[in-house]
């Protein structure tokens, strides 16, 4: 209790010294800076791995009886040969239009959720000095992922279609807004949320584990100080990148099958999504899914269990640096902007 009183006194002294900074305008400015940092982190990290992101989606939905993309290197070379440099980044503009607000909301939601969860935990008798545990971080990350994903899901849906279409497609979406309006007109508003359920289920372990592993690894390194990786209670950029890479690897491996099912459900109803076909080998009969379980069942029946991990290799190569870059960029931008609160706090 004495240590808690000292902490409270220190907090009160800090607030008193900041004066007007502690007012509503300062809070709004801090929130704006946090959202901006999250948006920059998302845009930078996703653009850095855009070619691998496109290849992953093409592998997930390609016709199993007419293989164009057989691996990461071959797939990237094929895109370069047939579509040029721009083909490697096709759909990235739309992807950034989705990921920037998604990342901003995700990081900010995690901060607020972890703070709220910790406050509730400390209100319980005997837990006045409780700290965030890996399980609590997992819960906060899951909340953040659900909020961020749900708020930007229609953009993710049309981004998937823009990424899959090629110059040979009989019908072309001209951009994000054209795709949104076309889907609304031809398929109805519900089509914008196709695959939402597996996305919700998948985002819980994916985002939850990303935050839990990243923060828990950092906390463990700071406390144990192995191999001199910690100086003055701060981790270097390289060490933080390694923590982010580990977090991304764990999260995407657990959640990947749900990402495949989500992407396939998003393609249903689009007349140019002929890559998702029945097992007759002719590629002329697009599959229809009545729901998430049906999509799982038909995918495994027609293509085997391995189809749930199509595109895993380029996704692994993509996710590891992407998550690492996102976490580190977020913290670096907040340092530059002078935001006192970090996700670790």
What residue ranges do the domains of the chain occupy?
24-337
With a cut of 50, say whether residue 122 has pLDDT above it.
yes
Using a pLDDT cut of 70, give the percent of the chain over it: 83
Q: Where are the alpha helices (DSSP H) in 62-133?
A: 72-88, 92-122
Confidence bin at 18 (pLDDT 50/70/90) = very low
Please state whether 268 falls in left (phi above 0), alpha (psi between -120 and 50) or beta.
beta
Give the model's pLDDT for residue 96. Answer: 86
- 131, 136, 54, 138: which is closest to 96 by C-alpha? 54
With a cut of 90, say whether residue 317 has pLDDT above it.
no
Confidence bin at 247 (pLDDT 50/70/90) = very high
Spatial separation of the C-alpha atoms in residues 42 and 47, rounded to whole Å: 8
Confidence bin at 12 (pLDDT 50/70/90) = very low
Q: Nearest 5°: CA angle at 38, between 200 and 251?
A: 40
- φ, ψ of residue 235 in degrees (nearest 5): -95, 145
49-88 pLDDT, tens digit per residue, is 889 888 888 887 777 777 788 878 898 899 999 988 888 8
Give the model's pLDDT for residue 269. Answer: 58
Give the model's pLDDT for residue 147. Answer: 93
Spatial separation of the C-alpha atoms in residues 37 and 335, rounded to whole Å: 9
**Are β-strands 234-235 and 230-231 bridged in parallel, bridged antiparallel, or unpaired?**
antiparallel
Confidence bin at 341 (pLDDT 50/70/90) = low
Q: pTM to 2 decimals?
A: 0.71
Give the model's pLDDT for residue 171. Answer: 66
With a cut of 80, say whether residue 11 has pLDDT above it.
no
- 255, 239, 264: which is closest to 319 by C-alpha? 255
Say what angle helices 24-48 and 92-122 make with each other, to 10 degrees: 130
Give the 3-state secondary structure of 224-290. Answer: HCHHHCEECCEECHHHHHHHHHHHHHHHHHHHHHHHHHHHHHHHCCCCCCCCCECCCCCCCCECCCC
Give the model's pLDDT for residue 4. Answer: 44
With a cut of 90, say whether residue 205 has pLDDT above it.
no
Give the model's pLDDT for residue 214. Answer: 93
Give the model's pLDDT for residue 40. Answer: 94
Range name among 29-38, 56-65, 96-105, 209-218 with the lowest pLDDT average? 56-65
With a cut of 80, say whether residue 105 has pLDDT above it.
yes
Give the residue-averaged pLDDT of 256-278.
67
CATH of domain 24-337: 1.50.40.10
Say what angle helices 92-122 and 134-151 make with each other, to 10 degrees: 140
With a cut of 70, say whether residue 275 has pLDDT above it.
no
**Which class for 235: exposed (0-12), middle (13-18), buried (19 or more C-beta within 10 A)?**
buried
């Amino acid at each position: 209790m004495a240590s808690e009183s000292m902490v409270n006194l220190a907090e009160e002294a800090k607030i008193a010294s900041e004066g007007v900074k502690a007012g509503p305008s300062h809070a709004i400015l801090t929130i704006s800076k946090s959202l901006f940092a999250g948006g920059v982190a998302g845009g930078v990290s996703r653009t850095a791995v855009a070619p691998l992101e496109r290849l992953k989606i093409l592998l997930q939905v390609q016709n199993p009886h007419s293989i164009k993309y057989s691996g990461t290197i071959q797939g990237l070379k094929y895109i370069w040969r047939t579509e040029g440099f721009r083909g490697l980044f096709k759909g990235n503009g739309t992807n950034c239009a989705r990921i920037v607000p998604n990342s901003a909301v995700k990081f900010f939601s995690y901060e607020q959720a972890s703070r709220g969860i910790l406050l509730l935990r400390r209100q319980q008798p005997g837990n006045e000095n409780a700290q965030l545990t890996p399980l609590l971080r997992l819960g906060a990350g899951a909340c953040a992922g659900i909020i961020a994903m749900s708020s930007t899901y229609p953009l993710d849906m049309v981004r998937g279609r823009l990424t899959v279409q090629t110059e040979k497609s009989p019908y072309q979406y001209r951009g994000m807004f054209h795709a949104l309006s076309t889907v609304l007109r031809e398929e109805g508003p519900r089509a914008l949320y196709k695959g939402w359920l597996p996305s919700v289920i998948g985002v819980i372990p994916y985002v939850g584990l990303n935050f839990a592993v990243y923060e828990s690894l950092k906390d463990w390194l700071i406390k144990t100080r192995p191999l001199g990786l910690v100086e003055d209670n701060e981790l270097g950029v390289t060490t933080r990148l390694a923590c982010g890479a580990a977090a991304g690897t764990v999260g995407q491996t657990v959640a990947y099958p749900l990402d495949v099912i989500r992407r396939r459900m998003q393609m249903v109803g689009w007349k140019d999504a002929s890559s998702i076909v029945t097992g007759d080998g002719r590629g002329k009969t697009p599959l229809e899914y009545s729901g998430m379980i049906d999509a799982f069942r038909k995918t495994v029946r027609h293509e085997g269990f391995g189809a749930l991990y199509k595109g895993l290799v380029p996704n692994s190569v993509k996710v590891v640096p992407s998550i690492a870059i996102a976490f580190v960029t977020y913290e670096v931008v907040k340092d530059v902007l002078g935001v006192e609160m970090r996700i670790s706090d």
